[in-house]
Amino acid sequence: MRFPLPGLHDSETRQKDKIYYFTKQFNFQTTKMFMNSKKELLWQSRFSLPFDRDALLFSSSVHVDKKLYREDIQGSIAHVTMLSEENIVSVEDAAQIIAGLREIEEELSGGSLLPQWEDEDIHTVIENRLKEKIGAVAGKLHSGRSRNDQVATDTRLYMRRQITELQVALGGLLGVLIEKAECYHKTIIFGYTHLQRAQPISAGHYYLAYFNMFSRDRQRLHDLMKRVNISPLGAAAFAGSTLPLNAERTAVLLGFDDLFSNSIDAVSDRDIVIEFISDCSMIMMHLSRFAEDLILWSSYEFGYLEISDAFATGSSIMPQKKNADIAELVRGKTGRVYGNLMAMLTIMKGLPLSYNRDMQEDKQPLFDSAETTIGSVTIFAKLLEHTKLKEERLAKLTAEDLSLATEIAEYLVRRQIPFRDAHRITGKIVTWSIASDVTLPNIPIEKFREFCDAFEPDIYNCLKADVSVNSKKTHGSCSFDSVALQIEMARKEL
């Protein structure tokens, strides 16, 4: 009997796994089952004593790397196909191995085969099961291949899939942003600096700012894919192999664009993992900033935006509460991904070439970052889709706000008054407006002229939010025409 893990699709947290498996609170029967196991680890033939039980429990990674079973089987099929084509393994043996691997994939995906702690990692689970199914022929699969280049290949295949999935999720979010920008491109909101009302802008301009952020994120992932989609298979442990392997062939079979140029680097490189988590951190940072806006704007104090009840929660004690919990969770999960990035940088910072067992610890940060970021982007797109701006309230607030003060200063500049003087004059007008509780559009022309005789009645044309927005003439500005052009460009990009 063997000591089983939970099924491949269990949703138990890592913390629960650690508590259950890495403490010594095993009952007597479980310990007896483990000690009576006769299974030998793949590398154990050189040693005279069996691997210590607690050492195996500590070093086992199967509870994490079980996620790689599809990639591992995919890489093994490509490897044995190449071995048969190079006459290292017979065609008949290769066919038997491939058939067995496909059956194992079905068993793992269906849950009839559960990874075992004593098998150490998912690669050993598959190899041991293959031996049970087809006997000694299974041992030929590992010809010319090390666990080092095998794991490096699996990792790149996994990353390739996750990058593609993340790009698709970002595409969905970008689509929602374009829809929001188009829907609200003539809605005027406050633009903020220092979290203070600054100038009125088109709401579409605001949404397109985030479009640009997430568009850059997708570009970074596209660029990263060029470095990820390189095959390390054939590097063996780190020095290559004496067998006539055809690394170019396995690269083609696995859909890689290129082949490693240095066998040491092929098995010891984790730059791509660090870069991927860095890209995930950037995406999460952008999501977190956006989430902060939604949280603030949906609050009673701001009241600019309404989140659908389907994406909000209440309080267990305060019946009036409507909380932006999904946005808050996205903001909170950002810290987890940042932590994964620091973990990877720390894991790699002192490792000599080439492979070291420390690198086993790259999987958990990688998997968590990928899943957290994909999940966050996907749910945030749905959340955003189910938000609405409170247009009537925004129209009332922007019509008489001090955020039109810059228009007064620029009005004076157009009358040949130096900007610094215009800025000083406008500042005094704002001070009087606040002290007198008179909004800028309601200041009498006589009062304006007390501050500067350059004012004419046409100043009131500038003190309208829509006029202010549409008066912006520079490239990429917030005018309705500029935003419409940006939307068109965004659609073409997407």
> CA-based angle 6:12:16, to the nearest 5?
95
Q: Please report the pLDDT score of residue 43 as a whole number.
A: 55
Name residue, tokens 């095959």. 231
The two structure tokens encoding residue 406: 């810059």
Enter the pTM of the model: 0.86
E strand spans, 64-145? none
Cβ-based burial of 334 (10 A; exposed 0-12, middle 13-18, buried ≥19)? buried
CA separation (Å) from 132 to 73, 135, 144? 16, 6, 22
Residue of 59, 90, 308, 315 marked catalytic: 315
CA angle 259, 262, 265 (to 5 degrees): 105
Displacement of CA 450 from its chain's centroid (Å):
57
Q: Measure the CA–CA gap between 343 and 427, rounded to whole angstroms.
A: 50
Phi first, then psi, for residue 388 (nearest 5°) are -135, 140
Instruction: State the DSSP H helix or E strand holding residue 445, giving kind and residue range, or none if neither.
Output: helix 445-451
Q: Which of 194, 261, 316, 475 is catalytic?
A: 194
Q: Is 48 a catalytic residue?
A: no
Does the active-site annotation cover 241? no
Identify the three-state secondary structure at position 344.
helix
* pLDDT at position 50: 74
- What residues are paired with 196 via a beta bridge? 193
For residue 120, the model assigns a pLDDT of: 81
What would you report as the CA-atom Rg of the chain, rounded to the nearest whole angstrom? Answer: 31
pLDDT confidence of residue 494: 87
How far is residue 428's CA from residue 357's CA, in Å, rounded to a whole number?
Answer: 68
Please give the chain's pLDDT, 494 residues, in tens: 343 443 444 444 444 444 344 333 333 333 333 334 445 566 566 666 676 777 777 778 888 889 999 999 999 999 999 999 999 999 999 999 999 999 999 999 999 999 877 778 999 999 999 999 999 999 999 999 999 999 999 999 999 999 999 999 999 999 999 999 999 999 999 999 999 999 999 999 999 999 999 999 999 999 999 999 999 999 999 999 999 999 999 999 999 999 999 999 999 999 999 999 999 999 999 999 999 999 999 999 999 999 999 999 998 899 888 999 999 999 999 999 999 999 999 999 999 999 999 999 999 999 999 999 999 999 999 999 999 999 999 999 998 888 899 999 999 999 999 999 999 999 999 999 999 999 999 999 999 999 999 999 999 999 999 999 998 889 999 999 999 999 999 999 98
Contact 185, 203 (CB under 8 A): yes
Give the type of residue at 88. Answer: I
Q: Is the omega angle on the peptide bond into residue 376 within 30 degrees of 0, that is, cis?
A: no
Structure tokens at 152: 């490096």
pLDDT of residue 157: 98
**How confident is the model at residue 28, as a pLDDT?**
32
Q: In the chain, what are the domains?
A: 50-143 (1.10.275.10), 148-243+258-395 (1.20.200.10), 400-493 (1.10.40.30)
State residue 4's pLDDT score: 42
pLDDT given at position 44: 65
